[in-house]
Amino acid sequence: MKPITIDINKDNVFFTSDTHFSHVNIIKYCNRPFTDVDEHDETLINNWNNAVGKDDIVFHLGDVALGPTKRVHDILERLNGKIYLCVGNHDWRSIVKQQAWRFEEIHQQYNLKIGKRHVILNHFPFLCYSGSWRGLDSSYQLFGHVHTSPYTDKGLDFSRLDILFPSQYDVGVDNNNFTPVSWNDVNNIIDAQIQSSKF
């Protein structure tokens, strides 16, 4: 897969995952601090649009929404930015088949080159990935799926997350104040993880 080269001089690249718009049970499953799905969705939409401009680029790493088709359509219409989807395990029926109109491109994985950095995007965290053997600052892997969160330590994958490299980062909304995270912030977070790591 040929890397996509992006100009980040304008600080216009963002990442997110696991928004789960309209998914009533996600509040309970992930202990999200919302009273109902309407508050949940409105907060995530407002956070998104406060961070992301109309011409910004957003890589959504999957699990966009689970809900009625019309409601999901209306939510996607309200979101700022040019959205590239990295398909999650909940997206095949509801998003890829019904809401593909909203995304610039849809793939299972992206291999980006941002400046001199290689960045691998996938819905799932990897045990090893392209360039990881060269050293921690050679390539990054961004992921979602596992719902890392300061609000909970639950989840079927939680016990395995201590084997992640410090050059990997969960860009899911649970881990980022329910807001897309900018490339500059991701870069700073991973740099700090590498500096404090024992690798």
In tens, the pLDDT along 136-193 reads 567 899 999 988 887 665 555 666 677 788 899 999 999 999 999 999 999 999 999 9
In a domain, 5, yes or no: no
In a domain, 1, yes or no: no
pTM for the full predicted model: 0.91
In a domain, 75, yes or no: yes
State how beta strands 109-114 and 181-182 pair: unpaired
Q: Are the C-beta atoms of residues 119 and 142 closer than 8 Å to each other?
A: yes
Q: Which helix (H) or strand (E) holds 139?
A: strand 139-143
Total domains present in the chain: 1
In a domain, 4, yes or no: no
Q: Collect all residues with Cβ–Cβ distance below 8 Å to 128 and sequence separation of at least 6.
A: none
In a domain, 38, yes or no: yes
In a domain, 2, yes or no: no
Which residue range forms the structural domain that includes residue 191?
10-196
In a domain, 166, yes or no: yes
For residue 47, give the CATH number of its domain: 3.60.21.10
- How many angstroms separate the CA atoms of 45 and 16, rounded? 12
Residue that has been written with the tokens 């050293």 in this structure: 135
In a domain, 3, yes or no: no
Mean pLDDT by 10 residues, the chain (199 residues): 61 94 93 96 98 96 95 98 94 88 93 86 85 68 88 61 85 96 95 85
Q: Are the C-beta atoms of residues 88 and 18 closer than 8 Å to each other?
A: yes
